[in-house]
Chains A and B, each alone.
Chain A
């Protein structure tokens, strides 16, 4: 079987081979994101009942929790690519890492923003220096620092290595965010959904949240693939295959 051989997978680490593959995958992930968003919003607003404690404000959860999960997941995936890039020196891995960062930063900002708007009616304040909120803010700074460092170094290889290292050092922050509600006495509520426990909420609420999570996931993949194609074109602009492709466009 082809899929069990190293060389089959290895070829996709070549930007030239990956570029058209990524291009074919983007519409599928974009369409999945759009469909799941419609389904998720339908469940979130029309099926899920009003919360008996928080009233309608709890509906922010259907984007807040997925955005917060994605902010952490994207950081972990980004670190995975950065680590592979640092160990095996595969250029495409570094490119994938840098393609994920802006989308990760966006979800981190959205988690903070929707959290603030949910915090006000629930806790009476938009912001508090609580362990969960503060560590999530640090995550935003890690994303921005990663992007700034990469932009500041001219040599792309050195930029990739330096920023990759920064990302890997910062990964310690992810478990801190995740476990902060358990380790410290925080204003932020504990997890309603964990890997080991059944969700402690109504099933239609859970459905809306999970569907929105997959919608954001598909969106993030589509964005990362689109951005990695831009990065590949930019970096490989002197390569024969890029020049040929541009020739063929006329």
Chain B
């Protein structure tokens, strides 16, 4: 075990900005990619569903 306490873990021995800046941005951007992609898909499916409904009427 490397850390005595949570605050020690969070401080990263003075490297907090570098370490958490890297991990934070990495997982934030990956999450954003997922969210954007899911939203794009949903919008597209809604649009296509509307078109297919219109074309049948």
Contact = CB atoms under 8 A, between A and B. Distances in A.
B51 A237 contact: yes
Contact of B19 (A59, A110, A219, A246): A59
B4 interface: no
A20 interface: no
Contact of B15 (A56, A63, A237): A56
A141 interface: no
Contacts, number: 92
A106 B44 CA distance: 23
Most buried by B among A60, A113, A223, A234: A60
B48 A242 contact: yes
A118 B37 contact: no
A50 interface: yes
Contacts of B1: 46
Given A55-B15, A246-B52, A230 B22 contact: no
Interface string B3-27: 1000001001111011101110110
Contact of A56 (B19, B51, B53): B19
Which range contains the number of A residues in contact with the other chain? Answer: 35 or more
A12 interface: no
Given A64-B22, A117-B18, A106 B13 contact: no
A80 interface: no
B13 A55 contact: yes
A94 interface: no
A64 B40 CA distance: 28
B33 A106 contact: yes
Contacts of B55: 243
A67 B22 CA distance: 11
A60 B3 CA distance: 17
22 contacts: A45-B9, A46-B3, A49-B2, A56-B19, A59-B12, A60-B18, A63-B22, A63-B23, A106-B30, A110-B26, A117-B21, A117-B22, A120-B18, A121-B18, A223-B34, A230-B44, A233-B41, A233-B48, A243-B52, A246-B52, A249-B45, A249-B49
